[in-house]
Amino acid sequence: MAHRIWNFNAGPATLPLPVLEKIKADLPNYNNTGMAFMELSHRSKPYDEVHVAAKSLARELWNIPESHHILFLQGGASTQFAMLPMNLLREGQKADYINTGTWSKKAIKEAKLFGEVNIAASAEDEKFTYVPTQAELKLSGDAEYVHMTTNNTIAGTQFHYTPETGKVPLIADMSSDIMSRPLDISKFGMIYAGAQKNLGPSGVTMVIIKDELVAKCKENNPTMLKYATHVDKDSLFNTIPTYSIYILKLVLEHMKAIGGVTAIEKENLAKGETLYGAFDTMSDFYRCPVREDSRSLMNVVFRLPNEDLEKQFIAEAAEAGLGGLKGHRSVGGIRASTYNAMPLEGVKALTEFMKGFAAKNG
């Protein structure tokens, strides 16, 4: 491949080109340190500057209140599935989980190792093609927390409201839609996300946790698996993934330069309109299984009249420079991941291709 393609992969995913160019320019001698960034000590001044800048940029861009700590951890969102209940759910206590797909189910499985799980709502009855409304949530009221997956990467659904949970802390896996839109962060007890979709490369997990919750965590857990350890040591208890955080900081700088999260949301909405609009105008050929009020602006899933045509679509799209369109192996079909770094231009290229393909094969 001699040139860059429109990369619709679900994660790791496309990164802004100016960020990639900056990474290249910074090699092999970062800021006249005589070393590449990944060769610097995590205890060095140049690293510390990046660490501090990454946190303050995230705080500024997403309006994260001072009541919440920003942590950079390892082990992916998958480790958070276990670390969360390990810290906040004691035996005999209960947590509410909203089941909106594969990733919610994995979180539920881990929580059951530590305490009781109440399924506050489940969309499994309709193959996860919608997210439950507030009225459909059966919250227990006395749970330690309520857990949700804001965007369902495989099913292609997304919450377009923040559930009201009263005094019970709301905890959200935002792996696939973090910083894709402005949100009132004060409504969340904790937010977590692997960086590899909207924020950078894989290798770092951002955790935003309210101080009050850190204080409530269980004491007798392994040091590395306690939120308090990482709060006390500013995520530098052990060797942090320095290079991933450096790239995350470049992504945040880029986000700021293009107008911040409000501008990004605007672009995401335009991308959604373009792609979902294409289904409406070609509804005899393309079908989106997701209920209209639950459609994701990050992962757009759709079907063609049959699986052979889907295979052909993916192959011909790849030849046309549109990659990563194969649906998740558990559901099949087509999935276009349109994270923050996918420009509207890329989505337009996809809809143009879709028109041509439907005209030829419809």
The site for ligand PMP (CB under 6 A) is made up of: 11, 76-78, 103, 149, 153, 173, 175-176, 194
Can you give the C-alpha Rg of the chain in angstroms?
A: 21
Pair of tokens at residue 284? 């005899």
**For this structure, is 173 an active site residue?**
yes
For residue 162, which phi and psi values (nearest 5 degrees)? -100, 120
Q: How far is the CB of 78 from ligand PMP (least distance, A)?
A: 3
Q: What's the CA gap between 4 and 1, in Å, rounded?
A: 7
Report which of 310, 309, 307 is spatially closest to residue 336, judged by C-alpha positions: 310
Which single residue brings its beta carbon nearest to ligand PMP? 76
Q: What's the CA gap between 89 and 286, in Å, rounded?
A: 44
- For CA atoms 17, 21, 26, 27, the dihedral sign is positive
Strand order in the sheet with 146-149: 68-73, 205-210, 190-194, 170-173, 146-149, 94-99, 116-122
Pair of tokens at residue 106? 């994995």
- For CA atoms 95, 101, 103, 109, the dihedral sign is positive
**For this structure, is 284 an active site residue?**
no
Q: Single out the catalytic residue among 55, 96, 173, 271.
A: 173
Nearer to ligand PMP among residue 156 and residue 357 (C-beta): 156
Q: Single out the catalytic residue among 55, 177, 197, 226.
A: 197
Q: How far is the CB of 193 from ligand PMP (least distance, A)?
A: 8
Question: What angle is formed at CA 214 by the lines to CA 208 and CA 217, rounded to 5 degrees?
Answer: 130
Nearer to ligand PMP among residue 73 and residue 217 (C-beta): 73
Q: How far is the CB of 294 from ligand PMP (least distance, A)?
A: 15
Q: How far is the CB of 98 from ligand PMP (least distance, A)?
A: 13
Nearer to ligand PMP among residue 79 and residue 242 (C-beta): 79
Nearer to ligand PMP among residue 175 and residue 351 (C-beta): 175
Nearer to ligand PMP among residue 338 and residue 351 (C-beta): 338
Q: How far is the CB of 175 from ligand PMP (least distance, A)?
A: 4
Active-site positions read 103, 173, 197
